């Protein structure tokens, strides 16, 4: 039986974490030929190259990133084992590694992840946001347990993945109380020449909004475009323009940004997905967030709406 040499794995893990063989040698108090030789032995046993050279630095290969993730888990477990034996920690916690599409409203992400956090106090959630294509590439390398996105994974990417629809809803247009009083009447026709803040052009919501504006013959005055949804809402909160958010987080937006409702539009639909490498959901936290989204958050599109009598 072939056994993994954990000394070799440790030297690889430290070098990968530090991004340098030289730095790893200093931390391990070992000579460079020793560390380099042990890493080469690990590559030989795994039959895969783990590092590439980038000038004087080293960078992980695709396989190296997968091995590093496992090594990180292994040595984290080792630390926990030591703490348990020495009377520190009481047990092993569960991790949920989540990739979040950068266009998603952060309020919605929080609402989606809340049920996952409720499965136990020992759950650790690690979130990273970024462009969906990059997140899906990392998902294929098992760096994430799930990717949450407003666009499904496309077969053209050539990677194994499964789209689990969490739900869909319409959108709500918000503004300060002054903007809401001015543009609420005769909505949506009132949006022509109204100041508006829009998500960046490469997002699903922006494409849907542009199509809806064209269909309705509306020509709002674009005051700004934002790739960060939280920054967009911050500008909206101080009156720079009307902004849009999913109706399911309507109440949260009103409370957090002291915003008033200009109008709602059910024909502008947003869909949200949990994307995994497995057809059947396995991670208990992913199961919890998916079930809660489908049965509570997106129930009948209503979400957490409040009356709009402002």
User: pLDDT tens across 141-187, in order?
Assistant: 788 899 999 999 987 666 778 999 999 999 999 999 999 999 999 99
Q: Is 246 left (phi over 0), alpha (psi -120 to 50) or beta?
A: beta
**pLDDT > 90 fraction of the chain, expressed in percent and rounded:** 56
pLDDT digit string, tens, across residues 6-47 = 889 999 988 988 888 888 888 888 899 999 999 999 999 999
Q: What is the DSSP string of 44-72?
A: HHHTS--EEEETTEEEE-HHHHHHHHHHH
What confidence category does residue 95 fall into, taking pLDDT thresholds of 50, 70 and 90?
Answer: confident
Question: What is the rounded distance in angstroms from the CA atom of residue 130 to the CA atom of residue 68?
Answer: 20
- Mean pLDDT across the stretch 77-100? 68
Residue pair 164/280 in contact by the 8 Å Cβ criterion: no
- Residue 279: per-residue pLDDT: 86
Residue pair 274/146 in contact by the 8 Å Cβ criterion: yes
Residue 81 pLDDT greater than 80, yes or no: no
CATH superfamily of this structure's domain 98-166+272-301 = Periplasmic binding protein-like II (3.40.190.10)
CATH of domain 168-270: 3.40.190.10
Question: What is the rounded distance in angstroms from the CA atom of residue 74 to the CA atom of residue 2?
Answer: 18
- Residue 121: per-residue pLDDT: 74
Residue 1 pLDDT greater than 50, yes or no: no
Question: What is the rounded distance in angstroms from the CA atom of residue 235 to the CA atom of residue 264?
Answer: 20
What confidence category does residue 53 fall into, taking pLDDT thresholds of 50, 70 and 90?
Answer: confident
Q: Does domain 6-85 have CATH number 1.10.10.10?
A: yes
The continuous run of DSSP H or E covering 59 comes out as strand 57-60
Residue pair 125/115 in contact by the 8 Å Cβ criterion: no
Query: How much is the pTM?
Result: 0.69
Q: Give the position of tokens 């190296």.
A: 64
Tokens of 211: 């199509």
Torsion angles phi and psi, residue 164, rounded to 5: -110, 110
What confidence category does residue 201 fall into, taking pLDDT thresholds of 50, 70 and 90?
Answer: confident
For the beta sheet containing 95-101, the strands, ordered from the edge strand earlier in sequence to the opposite edge, are: 124-130, 95-101, 146-149, 260-276, 162-175, 243-246
Q: Is 159 helix (H, G, I), strand (E, B) or coil?
A: coil
**pLDDT > 70 fraction of the chain, expressed in percent and rounded:** 90
What confidence category does residue 300 fall into, taking pLDDT thresholds of 50, 70 and 90?
Answer: low
Q: Count Cα neighbours of 282 within 13 Å in the Cβ-side half-sphere.
A: 6
The answer for residues whose C-beta is within 8 angstroms of residue 250's C-beta and 6 or more apart is: 172, 261, 303, 304, 305, 306
Question: What is the rounded distance in angstroms from the CA atom of residue 98 to the CA atom of residue 139?
Answer: 9
Residue pair 183/242 in contact by the 8 Å Cβ criterion: yes
- Residue 118: per-residue pLDDT: 86
The DSSP symbol for 88 reads -
Residue pair 181/242 in contact by the 8 Å Cβ criterion: no
- Residue 240: per-residue pLDDT: 96
What confidence category does residue 188 fall into, taking pLDDT thresholds of 50, 70 and 90?
Answer: very high
Sorted by where each begins, the domain ranges of the chain are 6-85, 98-166+272-301, 168-270
**Is it true that 98-166+272-301 and 168-270 share their CATH fold?**
yes
Average pLDDT value over all residues in the chain: 87
What confidence category does residue 282 fall into, taking pLDDT thresholds of 50, 70 and 90?
Answer: confident
- Mean pLDDT across the stretch 111-115? 93
The continuous run of DSSP H or E covering 53 comes out as strand 51-54
What confidence category does residue 288 fall into, taking pLDDT thresholds of 50, 70 and 90?
Answer: very high
What confidence category does residue 90 fall into, taking pLDDT thresholds of 50, 70 and 90?
Answer: very low
The answer for residues whose C-beta is within 8 angstroms of residue 171's C-beta and 6 or more apart is: 205, 209, 244, 245, 246, 247, 264, 265, 268, 270
pLDDT digit string, tens, across residues 121-144 = 778 899 999 888 889 888 887 888
pLDDT digit string, tens, across residues 263-277 = 999 999 999 999 998
The DSSP symbol for 89 reads -
């Amino acid at each position: 039986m072939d056994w993994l040499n954990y000394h070799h794995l440790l030297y690889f893990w430290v070098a990968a974490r530090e991004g340098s063989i030289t730095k790893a040698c200093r931390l391990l108090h070992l000579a460079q030929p020793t560390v380099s030789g042990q890493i080469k032995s690990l590559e030989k046993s795994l039959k895969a190259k783990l590092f590439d050279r980038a000038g004087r630095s080293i960078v992980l290969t695709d396989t190296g990133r997968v091995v590093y993730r496992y090594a990180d888990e292994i040595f984290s477990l080792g630390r926990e084992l030591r703490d348990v034996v020495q009377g520190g920690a009481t047990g092993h916690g569960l991790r949920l590694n989540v990739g979040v599409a950068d266009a998603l409203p952060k309020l919605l992400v929080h609402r989606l992840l809340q049920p996952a956090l409720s499965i136990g106090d020992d759950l650790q959630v690690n979130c990273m946001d970024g462009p969906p294509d990059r997140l899906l590439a990392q998902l294929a390398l098992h760096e994430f347990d799930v990717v949450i996105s407003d666009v499904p994974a496309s077969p053209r990417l050539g990677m194994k993945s499964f789209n689990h629809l969490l739900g869909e809803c319409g959108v709500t247009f918000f503004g300060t109380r002054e903007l809401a009083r001015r543009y609420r009447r005769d909505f949506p026709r009132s949006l022509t020449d109204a100041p508006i803040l829009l998500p960046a052009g490469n997002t699903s919501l922006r494409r849907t909004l542009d199509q809806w504006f064209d269909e309705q013959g509306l020509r709002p005055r674009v005051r700004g475009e934002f790739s960060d949804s939280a920054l967009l809402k911050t500008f909206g909160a101080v009156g720079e323009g009307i902004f849009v958010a999913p109706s399911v987080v309507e109440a949260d937006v009103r409370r957090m940004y002291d915003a008033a409702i200009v109008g709602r539009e059910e024909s502008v639909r947003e869909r949200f997905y949990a994307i995994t490498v497995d057809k059947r959901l396995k991670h208990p936290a992913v199961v919890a967030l998916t079930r809660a989204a489908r049965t509570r958050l997106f129930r009948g599109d209503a979400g957490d709406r409040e009356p709009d009598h402002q």
